[in-house]
Structure 1
Amino acid sequence: MISLFLRHFSPRHSWRNGLGLLGSLMPLGGCVDMPHPFGDPGPEGRRLALTTPPPRLAVPTPSASLLDNAASALWAKDVASQLVEQSLPAVAQPAKPGDWWLRLSATMQGDQVTPHYEVMMPSGEPRGHWDAAPVPASAWAQGEPKLLESLASSSAPQISTVLTGIQAAMMQADPHSLKRRPAKVFFKGVRGAPGDGNVTLARSFVASFPDQHDKLDRDPKAADYTVEGIVTLSDGPAGNTGHPLQHIEIVWRTVAADGKEAGAATQLHDIDAHSLDGPWGDVAMVAASEAAGAVHQIITNYSGRDHKPLPPEQGSGSAKSRIAARQG
C-alpha cells in the first residue's frame, strides 16, 4: 500500500495503475503545527526589521500578579516553558530594548482572580491580549506550583494563537509577504529513481505544481522555497506469491529560503522487484500530482498565509488603563 506522509496534509487518493494511496500524518523533526512568528524570519523578514519580531519572546516576572515574588517568578517561568512546548522561543527574563515581550498580570473581582496575558511591542504598546479563566482568590494567593503550572499549560495554546494572529496581521500589511503574492519555488528536480523516473517525475511535477498561490522560479536565490524529490529503493521480502519485492520511497523535501526545512512529503510503496526499471508512465504523473498538492499545503502551513490576522487593539490606552477599567 502506498502511504503519503507529510506535515499537516492527509488526502486520500489512488494511483491510476491500481496502487493504493493512503494519506496519513507523521511529525517531522523541527516542524510545528503553526508558523514560527517569533523565529528567524529569513531574508525577507530581516528586510522588515522595524516590524518583525526578534527570535525570542521575553516573559518578565510580573509586578502586578497578586502573588509573592517567588510565585510570580515561577508563573513567568512556567509560561515561558509552556510556550517553548508550543515551539515559540520564549525566555523567562526581563524585557530588553527591542524585545517583544509578554506582560503577565492578575486582577481580583469579588472572590475570583483573573490572570491576564498581553503581548507588548518593542515600542511598549500592546498588540494582543487574552484572559484566562478566573481562579478562586484563596487558591491564587497560595501560589501553589501545580496551580501555576496547570494555568500556564492551559493558557499557552491561546497565547500562541494570539501570536500567530499578530504574525498574520504583519503579513497582511506587507505587500511582499506570501499573503499578498504567490510563493516563488525553485525545483531542483528528482534524483535516485530507477528507469526514466528522474525525468518523468520531474516533468510531471513541473506540469502539476503551479497555481494561484505558488509559482516555479528558475532563480534559486530569489526563491522563497526550494523543493527536491529524492527516490530510494531497497530490497523487500519475497512477497505473498513468491515474487520478490522492493520498497520504494519518494521524499519531496521543501526548504525555506533561510535554510530551515518547512516539511517533507514521503510516498512509500512495495513494488514487484524492478517493475519501475523502465518507463514510469502514469505512475509518475499521479505521484507528482499528489506531491504537488502536498508541497502547496506545506508552504501554506509553514508560511502562515492562511491564518487570520489579529484585529488592531481597540483604543490607544495602556494595559494599566484597561486593568483599571476591569476593576471599575
Structure 2
Amino acid sequence: MKGSLKACIGLFSTMTLLAGCVDMPHPFGDPGPEGRRLALTTPPPRLAVPTPPDSLLDNTASALWAREVATQLVDQSLPAVAQPAKPGDWWLKLSATLQGSDVTPHYVVMMPNGEARGHWDAAPVPASVWAQGEKPVLSSLAAASAPQISSVLTGIQAAMMQADPHSLKRRPAKVYFKGVKGAPGDGNVSLARAFTASFPDRHDQLQSTPKDADYSVEAIVTVSDGPAGTTGHPSQHIEISWRTVAADGKEAGAATQLHDIDAHSLDGPWGDVAMAAASEAAGGVHQIITNYSGRDHKPLPPETPATKK
C-alpha cells in the first residue's frame, strides 16, 4: 500500500476549474441579503440601454443600436436590457458626433445618482456608412465595444469595493468548510484535515460555523471502475470536486481533480496523497473566491476633466 500511495502523490497534478470560477465580472449580480450587507453599494441586477436621442441616426436605427449593444453585453454575461432608464437605474448613455467626414460613437456609464463614469469613444465610422444605420455595421460596433463596457463596469465595481470597508478588497473572506464526503479508506478525514491545514492565508480564513460566512466549501469524492489498463491490472477513476458556494447560495465554482488509479489503492490510509490533493485544491478555491468576488479587479480611476468629453 505504501508504494501505491507514493505513486499516487502526483495524480492530482491536473485540476479543472469549472463554471463560475472564470475571470468574469459580476458588477450587477444580486449577492442576496448577506452579500448586500457585506457590499452595501452593490448595483442593481440590470443595466438599461435606452434608445439614444443624439445618435445621428433615425429612430429605427437608434433603437437597433441600443438593442445590439444590449445583446452583446448579455453575451459578456452582463444582464443588460434595451429599455428606457428608470429612476434608480444604472444605464448606458449612447451618442454620436460628426467630426469631419466621420462619425464617432460615444459611451458613458451613468450611475443611479446621475454621476457619469467611464467616458470613451469607439473607432470612427465614415459618415456615409453611419447614416445608413445598417444592422451589420451597428452589430459589429456593439461587439467591438462590449468588452470595453464590461471592463468599465468591472472597474466601477472594484472602486466601490475599495471604498467599502466590509468588502473583500478590505478584509479576508470568511469560509466555512463543510468537510469531505464519499472518499474510500480514510480519505474523508485525511482530506479534510489536510485542506484545513493548507487553506488559510491572508486572503481567506476558515471559520467553524456557517454563520456570516462569505463562502462555504465542500468536497465530494466519486470513485468508479475504470478500464483494465495496458498491463491488465484493474483500475478506478477518482474524481474530487471542491464545490464553493457564495453566501447567497449561488455556486461560485468548483475545482475538480480527476485521475485513474490502481483499483483499491486508496482503500486504506491516504497518507501524503491527501496533503498533495488538498494543497492543490486550496489554491483552486482561493482562485474561485478571488475571481467570483472581483477583489483583484483594478478600480476605475475617478473622472477628470480630461476624461469627460
Match of 2:256 in 1: 266
Unaligned runs of 5+ in 2: 1-5
Q: Distance in 2 between matches of 1:150 and 1:27?
A: 30
| Aligned sequence identity (%) | 80
Superposition deviation, residue 34 in structure 1:
1.6
Matched residue, 1:98? 88
1:14-33 equivalences under 5 Å are: 17=8, 19-23=10-14, 28=19, 32-33=22-23
After superposition, the Cα gap between the structure-2 partners of 1:66 and 1:27, relative to the gap in structure 1 and judged at 3 Å, is farther
Distance in 1 between the 2:39 and 2:190 partners? Answer: 43
Paired position in structure 2 for 1:163: 153
Q: Residues 44-193 of structure 1 correspond to what in structure 2 (within 5 A)? A: 44-47=34-37, 51-193=41-183
Could you say what secondary structure the match of 2:143 adopts?
helix
The question of whether the paired residues in 1 share the 8 Å contact of 2:39 and 2:161 is answered with no
Is contact 2:35–2:247 with CA below 8 Å preserved after alignment? no
Q: Deviations over 1:43-84 (max 9, x none)?
A: 344237873210000000000111110010000000001000
For residues 214-238 of structure 1, what are the alpha-carbon distances to aligned partners after superposition, in whole Å with 9 as ceiling and x for unaligned?
Answer: 0001221210000000000111011
C-alpha separation in 1, matches of 2:182 and 2:194: 16
1:246 to partner: Cα distance? 0.6
SS class of match (2:136): helix
Shift, 1:112, TM fit: 1.1
SS at match of 1:151: helix
More divergent stretch after superposition (277-286 vs 121-130): 121-130
For the Cα contact (< 8 Å) 2:43–2:90, is it kept in 1? yes
Cα distance change of structure 1 residues 199 and 21 upon mapping to structure 2, 3 Å threshold: closer
Give the letter for the 1:305 counterpart. R
Aligned to 1:197: 187
Partners of 1:56 and 1:194 lie apart in 2 by 46
CA–CA distance in 2 between the matches of 1:25 and 1:276?
Answer: 21
Tell me, yes or no, if the aligned pair for 2:178 and 2:217 is still in contact at 8 Å. Answer: yes
Residues in 2 aligned to 1:283 and 1:304: alpha-carbon distance in whole angstroms: 32
Write the deviation string for residues 194-223 of structure 1: whole angstroms up to 9, x where unpaired. Answer: 000000000000000000000001221210
Residue 212 in structure 1 maps to residue 202 in structure 2:
yes
The alpha-carbon deviation at position 129 of structure 1 amounts to: 2.1
State the AA in 2 paired with 1:81: T
Q: Is the 8 A contact 1:16 1:282 kept in 2?
A: no
How far apart are the structure 2 equivalents of 1:278 and 1:293? 26
Asked if residue 277 in structure 1 is aligned to residue 280 in structure 2, the reply is no
Structure 2 CA distance for aligned equivalents of residues 31 and 87 of structure 1: 13
Q: Counterpart of 2:255 in 1: which secondary structure?
A: strand
Q: Which amino acid aligns with 2:304?
A: Q
Q: CA RMSD in A?
A: 1.9
Task: Read off the aligned partner of 1:112 and give its amino acid letter.
Answer: D
TM value normalised by structure 1: 0.88
The answer on 1:224 being equivalent to 2:214 is yes
Aligned residues: 304
Deviations 1:84-120 (A, max 9, x none): 0000000000001110000001111101111111100
Shift of 1:42: 2.9
- Aligned partners of 2:44 and 2:90 also within 8 Å: yes
1:38–1:88: 8 Å Cα contact kept in structure 2? Answer: yes
Q: 1:204 to 1:27 in 2, by over 3 A?
A: closer
Which amino acid is 1:276 matched to?
L
SS of aligned partner of 2:131: helix
Deviations 1:15-41 (A, max 9, x none): 87453445465652x565323111103
Q: Look up the match of 2:289.
A: 299
Corresponding residue number in structure 2 for 1:287: 277
